[in-house]
Amino acid sequence: MNLIRLGAMARKEFIHVLRDPRSLGMAIAMPVFLLLLYGYALTLDVDNVPMVVWDQSETPASREFISRFAGSRYFSVRGYVRNYREMVHAIDSGEVLTALTVPREFAQCLDSGRPASVQLILDGSDSNTATLAVSYAEVVVATYTQEISLEKIRRLGGPALHLPLEARPRVWYNTDLESRNFIIPGLIAVIMMVIAALLTSLTVAREWERGTMEQLISTPVKGRELILGKLIPYLAIGQVDVLLAVLLGQFLFRVPLRGSVLLLFALAMVFLVGTMSLGIVISIVAKNQLLANQMAMVLTYTPSFLLSGFVFPISNMPKIVQLVTYLVPARFFIAILKGIYLKGVGLEILTVEAVLLTVFAVGMVALANALFKKKMR
């Protein structure tokens, strides 16, 4: 490999990027825009679930019970209804997701020691929110029941009761269970994979469309020098994008970065080499910028978003799909980012992911060289 020819090829690609504001804008502004858009719009937190209440009892006891929902961070009482028809309308129209019905004999049942029943109706069209809302409601009801039982024993002059088992959950790595703390690292991986492949997917195809590939073929530049020369400028831009994403995550979204920053950027470079080489492979195969752009979107965005474990846990997927996820490099990079960001671990824990990411990068570089040699003949 001749370093002079390699430098000339890299300089040529740098000049093209700097002279093309669209490419430079997509390379720098697009990742920042996507991170801001998805970072604020995408959340898995379920707070302030809208609720209406039909209080048939209208007693101090029922109002005390309803206040437990109103005072919870997970529910927001939007109003009261007077009949079943109004309650159904509120759910059907989308004004609320839950409806609480307190029966007329609620207070009498509590006073007499008989079990009291309440009804919680949920809009199951959003199954994830409905499932979490049921869990939150069960906690509210269980806490209220426990307080009533203890208060009744105290009034009867019985001995103070101590619960035989007390669970004290302790959450590691994400103490407040903020979804953005694991969404932002995942977004960095997904966005960088899409942008990296899009940037390099136009490089070789652009040469074919403009008729300059024949000139490059006639020069002494070898295939691996051309490919590496086209990679170098975009790798530099990619690292700038990673830096901007890390700064946004740290200072705007307040995501803790507990691990090694140096390790993060080193493994990000390996990830960028693989994804950008994938873009060059697409560019070599397509020979057309529009087709290459579309192929890059199909081969990066959907797999990295759905099959990387970013949104949906891989363990819940069918076995055959779990095997397919090993072909998605974003899976390994997301695991690496979460480990570095939230757990502060290093290569002693992330060795497998780092090795698989390296294998992908080497494989893509080798494939790009092999395919381009065929085109040079």
Query: 188, 275 in Cβ contact below 8 A?
Result: no
**What's the pLDDT score for residue 374?**
44
> Predicted confidence band at 211 (pLDDT cuts at 50, 70, 90)?
low
In whole angstroms, how far apart are CA 4 and each of 9, 224, 225, 233?
Answer: 9, 13, 10, 16
Question: Alpha-carbon distance 229 to 215, whole Å?
Answer: 16
**What's the pLDDT score for residue 77?**
93
In whole angstroms, how far apart are CA 24 and each of 13, 90, 187, 353?
Answer: 12, 49, 21, 31
> Predicted confidence band at 245 (pLDDT cuts at 50, 70, 90)?
very high
Instruction: For residue 51, give the H/E element and its range.
Output: strand 49-55
Query: 110, 72 in Cβ contact below 8 A?
Result: no
**For the chain, which domains are there?**
3-43+178-376 (no CATH), 49-155 (3.40.1710.10)
C-alpha closest to that of 209 among 283, 276, 288: 288
Q: Is the dihedral of CA 66, 71, 72, 77 positive or negative?
A: positive
Beta strand 75-80 with 119-122: parallel, antiparallel or unpaired? Answer: unpaired
Question: Alpha-carbon distance 286 to 265, whole Å?
Answer: 31
Count Cβ atoms below 10 Å from residue 67 Cβ, excluding itself: 12
**What's the pLDDT score for residue 326?**
93
Query: 339, 349 in Cβ contact below 8 A?
Result: yes
What is the arithmetic mean of pLDDT over 338-349?
93
8, burial (CB in 10 Å: exposed 0-12, middle 13-18, buried 19+): middle
C-alpha closest to that of 311 among 303, 321, 319: 303
**What's the pLDDT score for residue 373?**
64
Count of helices and strands (H, E) across the chain: 15, 4
Residue 93 confidence (pLDDT) above 60? yes
Query: 74, 133 in Cβ contact below 8 A?
Result: yes
Residue 79 confidence (pLDDT) above 70? yes
Residue 172 confidence (pLDDT) above 60? yes
Question: Alpha-carbon distance 69 to 81, whole Å?
Answer: 16
Q: pTM for this structure?
A: 0.81
Query: 281, 243 in Cβ contact below 8 A?
Result: no
Count Cβ atoms below 10 Å from residue 142 Cβ, excluding itself: 10
